Amino acid sequence: MEGDWIEYYCREGQYARVVEVARKCGGDVKWKYYEGLGLVLGDKLTEGISCLEPLLTHGEYGLAAAHLSLIAHQSCQTVDRDAVAQLEWKVEDVGSVGERGLQLASSALLHSGRHAEARKYVERLLRLSPSSGAAMVVSGWLEMADGNTRAAAKLFKTALSQDKGNLDAVLGELAALNPADGLQLANQLIVRYPRSTPPLAEKMRLLLATKDWTQALDTASRLLTLDPDNLAALEVRAVHQLVVAGDYAEAAVAVRRHTAAVEAQGADLLWPAQLYSRLCGRNATILTETIRLATQATQVKPHDTRSLLELATQHRLAGRLGEANKAYRTVTRLDGTCTAALCGLTLVQLAQTGLTEQVTQQVEFLVEVMGAQPSPELLMLRCQCERDWGLLDKAVTLLTAAASHLPYGSKYLACLNPDLLMEIADLYPDTLEGLAQRVLVLRQVVEQCGGLAGAVLGLARALTASGDLGAATQLLSRVDPTNTDAHLVLAQIHLAQEKYEEANASLELGLSYNLQVRDRPLYHVLLGAIQRHHGDTQACAQSMRTALSLNKGEQPLSVSELGTLYLELVASLTASG
């Protein structure tokens, strides 16, 4: 029966599915409660309030219904203060609430993301009934949310010792196991529930944790056979196109298919927006889609700082600095203490004006406010103000440490934030030590996202500048042959090896795929070097002057490339007399 999986759908944020299953299963109080939960958490607030209202006086479901109704009222654009006051009084009056009522309330708060409140009810429930399996299951999921896998596994195991058929405890044990052991349990669940999608989705998650993309994609196909709009399977396909295949045209199609299903099922709009924007190498087509999702999220919740902050970040990634500035300022008006928004504003200002006295003062203020817990973004800002490259190392450590407790998969990749790691890597200086650190950071990105062309090319450039031409050439073989940037880097490598004909062939190949490569200053620097080798010093000088005139665009020359330009220009002018 699909109703067996209702708690799973709640945990996965599949609120439209929760409502659908609840309505299919009947009109008794249990299913009316789940219908109301799905409506409220799916942002259908008015419907949710109406659905839950008859349950507010119910002995078992009253407390959980009150909490969900309170969340709904507080999320409305026009808040009913009288209703909020009554509900706040009701959720405080828990003296007569029994074990089942406490368990339901703690579960509702867990699904709502109110973990501290959920934990209070679980603790109260365990004082009333120390051996309560239901309390142990909720407590186990709370521990999982905090990353305490061992403690969670122990709780799930204890719950299962009381009731081997407790499906939520089984799924909890599955989530807490290592992938090898978990796969065996997942296969047992697939045999037990052959027409249900959750066991297959969990198997796919475990396969991803081992980076077995082939089997994970096969499992995704099986999932889509049972459910053509399965969110987990569609997400895996899109992520694979981005981080493994590196096919941005196919990725854009896969992303749009996933986001359409997310919208249709009332799932969290911000999750795919955040995930894909951090993995797409700032691809314009995909960022347009993620910005659309983030914008839609702000329309659903106009005063939600989380949605507005994500929209601002999306605009910054897309280079829409004016829109980013506006969105960050809206967040600060709603919450003047939001340091993430203040950091974002400062990053935008730095990009617009360069390092000014005002930017420096804002960074100093943020350092004082954030104290011993700086964000990676603040460490980036400090580095640019203080020229202390060790701050970049700390920023990288913060990102990798935050992701280290998660198994490989979508959540791990979003937490790792390859886009921000690449942004940090670009800030290292073109010294031997700086290049070594840049290589170190970009290797970490490429190890996890081998299809991320920007990271592969950045690493190839850094290896080329470091003199490791063999490794750079090998890396470039993994990039789409139509990628113009790859041909420019390959031309640099050939020039470093004094293979001028091969360098010229690489430039011509890059030009054949994209005529706009002639708008890149690096193209003219490389062309000029080839021209001087062939004795055409006047053409070389002209190419270098063209490179200088183009060097104020979006892809300026690095310090070492600019040095090459001036050396070639001086040599060509000297030779010309």
Tens-place pLDDT, residues 184-226? 999 999 999 999 999 999 999 999 999 999 999 999 999 999 9
Please give the Cα distance from 507 to 529 (Å, whole number). Answer: 12
b/e sequence 154-163, b meaning 16+ C-beta within 10 Å: ebbebbbeee
Residues 207-214: contacts with CB under 8 Å, at least 24 apart: 207/179, 207/183, 208/236, 208/407, 208/408, 208/409, 208/410, 209/179, 209/407, 209/408, 209/409, 210/179, 210/180, 210/408, 211/408, 213/240, 213/244
pLDDT of residue 575: 83
Mean pLDDT of 114-128: 92
- Residue 231 makes CB contacts below 8 A (sequence gap 6+) with 12, 14, 258, 261, 262, 265, 267
Task: Give kind and range of the element (H or E) at residue 501.
Answer: helix 500-513
In this predicted structure, the answer to whether residue 27 has a pLDDT above a threshold of 80 is no
Please give the Cα distance from 190 to 169 (Å, whole number). Answer: 16
- Residue 34 makes CB contacts below 8 A (sequence gap 6+) with 6, 10, 18, 19, 21, 22
pLDDT of residue 479: 87
Tens-place pLDDT, residues 453-489? 999 999 999 999 999 999 999 999 888 888 899 999 9
Integer Rg of the chain from CA: 28
Mean pLDDT of 371-396: 95
Q: Which fold has domain 428-516?
A: 1.25.40
Please give the Cα distance from 269 to 275 (Å, whole number). Answer: 11
Tens-place pLDDT, residues 269-314? 999 999 999 999 999 999 999 999 999 999 988 888 999 999 999 9
In this predicted structure, the answer to whether residue 493 has a pLDDT above a threshold of 70 is yes
Residue 355 Cα to chain centre, angstroms: 28
pLDDT of residue 18: 93
pLDDT band at 567 (very low <50, low <70, confident <90, very high): very high
In this predicted structure, the answer to whether residue 530 has a pLDDT above a threshold of 90 is yes
b/e sequence 280-293, b meaning 16+ C-beta within 10 Å: bbebeebbebbbbb
Please state, in angstroms and as integers, the Cα–Cα distance from residue 168 to each residue in 109, 133, 159, 532, 569, following that order.
Answer: 16, 11, 10, 71, 70
Tens-place pLDDT, residues 349-380? 999 999 999 999 999 999 999 988 999 999 99
Tens-place pLDDT, residues 94-109? 777 888 999 999 999 9
Tens-place pLDDT, residues 231-265? 999 999 999 999 999 999 999 999 999 999 999 88
Percentage of the chain modeled with pLDDT above 70: 100
What average pLDDT does the structure give for the chain? Answer: 93
pLDDT of residue 478: 85
Mean pLDDT of 499-519: 93
**Looking at per-residue confidence, does 131 or 523 come out higher?**
523
Domain with CATH 1.25.40.10 in the chain: 228-420, 428-516
CATH code for the domain defined by 228-420:
1.25.40.10
Indicate the angle between helix axes 45-52 and 62-75, nearest 10 degrees: 150
pLDDT of residue 265: 84
pLDDT of residue 577: 64
pLDDT of residue 558: 85
